Structure 1
Amino acid sequence: MGITFRKSIRILPGVRLNINRRSWSVTLGGGAGPRHTYNSRGRRTTSMDLPGPFGYRRTTARRSR
């Protein structure tokens, strides 16, 4: 089993800085509304928890040239 590193730091209410071994990201929002995550590698994710066993997630990756 490999060793993993992951750290999440709350900067302000509704703003988190997430750090792992390969990249970092900033998450905005949450609670009852949508969450927007911006990754250092160019990936953007929008997600939202819905009632029951449902959820929504949309990921957009940076286009390569």
Structure 2
Amino acid sequence: MPLTFRKSFRILPGVRLNINRRSWSITTGGRHGPHHTRSSNGRRTTSMDLPGPFGWRRTTRRRER
């Protein structure tokens, strides 16, 4: 079983700083409604919890040149 590291800090209401072993990210959005995440490695994710056991997520990556 591999060891993992992940830590999340609340900076302001609705803004979180997430740190893991390889990168960091900023997440904005409240408990209800969409969440927008921008990662240090170029990934952008928009997600939203839907009623019941459902959720929606869209992820895009920065193009490498």
Same fold (TM over 0.5): yes
1:30 shift after superposition: 2.7
RMSD of equivalent CA atoms: 0.8
Unaligned runs of at least 5 residues, structure 1? none
Unaligned runs of at least 5 residues, structure 2? none
TM-score (ref. length: structure 1)? 0.94
What amino acid is the match of 1:23?
S
1:49 & 1:13 partners in 2: Cα distance?
18
TM-score (ref. length: structure 2)? 0.94
What amino acid is the match of 2:8?
S
Identical pairs, percent: 78
Q: How many residues align?
A: 65
